[in-house]
Structure 1
Amino acid sequence: MLIEQAGEPVGEVLSRNDAKAHCRASDFDDDDTLIEGYILAAAEYVQDVCQTILLRTPFKATGPRFNLGFTGFPRPELSSVSYVDDLGATITVDPSQYEICKGRLVVHGVTSITSATVEFTAGIGAGNVPAKLVQAARMMVAHWYANREASGEGLAPVPLGVRDMVALHRSFAF
């Protein structure tokens, strides 16, 4: 199934005030917009390296059948499961007919479908993101803030420790 983001994530991985304090930029507001951009990029970087959704986010999965695994989508909550049958009728599946078993969607009693749609919310959730991942995001923000004018060989490498902090939190670890 093709999974697409269907709404905005809820919450934040790292607050602006926390990032500003880490960057030692708390005494002025001139760089707030810049730092907010770095915060979004750092959270995305950590999420991409971990291959795990950090903030609770709505998703929509579509495909020719119910073949949906939730690797990288921790704590999935299904909100709607539906399909189009052979006659073209759209049918919403009763929640008693589906479940998540061993990280995969299992739908009972549906035999003939031409397309399937699953709406769900997944992600670790603001306030539940492991401290190492929040620290990795802080370090990335500070790195980009301090090296925003780097030239020559490009930006300096990722700060020591960031990759180590996120390595054990890849999606297969959840």
Structure 2
Amino acid sequence: MEISAEQMTLIKTHLRVDGDTEDALIAAYAAAAVDYVEKFCDGTLVESLTPVSEDTDPPREVLFTSGIWAAMLLLIGHWYANREAAAPSLTETPLGVEALLIRHRRWH
């Protein structure tokens, strides 16, 4: 999933960032959040699910929802505020992320 320009604007609003100087850093955090969600949920984030046919296995997809978006904003905000690996708060996922994602997780 690619982060759209509109989503990037919302991320910057969430982070309270007005300028463009950190856009590359914020985009990297956004891409990492997509990767985190896809790995946690075990599927590719999509805006609409691929129709399933009877003769093929269903694709490993996760529908992008407002809850997933909220989890991504929490992750991006956490990484933006805590940029150094030495920060003690980096040892845990921000509060609420797993609660927002757990219902989308694929269990084997």
TM-score (norm 2): 0.78
Structure 2: segments with no counterpart, 5+ residues: none
Cα displacement (A) at 1:53: 1.1
**Match of residue 45 from structure 1:** 36
* Distance of 1:22 and 1:131 partners within structure 2: 14
Q: What RMSD over aligned residues (CA atoms) do the two structures have, in Å? A: 3.0
**Match of residue 100 from structure 2:** 165
Q: Which has the larger radius of gyration?
A: 1
Structure 1: segments with no counterpart, 5+ residues: 1-8, 57-73, 78-98, 107-120
1:47-62 counterparts in 2 under 5 A? 47-55=38-46
Cα displacement (A) at 1:76: 3.4
Count of aligned pairs between the two proteins: 106
1:24-173 counterparts in 2 under 5 A? 24-25=16-17, 27-55=18-46, 75-76=49-50, 100-101=53-54, 105=56, 123-124=61-62, 129-151=64-86, 155-172=90-107
* Distance of 1:122 and 1:48 partners within structure 2: 11
**Match of residue 17 from structure 1:** 9
TM-score (norm 1): 0.51
* Distance of 1:48 and 1:122 partners within structure 2: 11
**More helix, by proportion:** 2
Identity level (%): 30
- The alignment partner of 1:54 has SS state of strand
**Match of residue 60 from structure 1:** none
Contact 1:139 1:162 in 2 (8 A): yes
Distance 1:46 1:122, change over 3 A: closer
Contact 1:12 1:55 in 2 (8 A): no
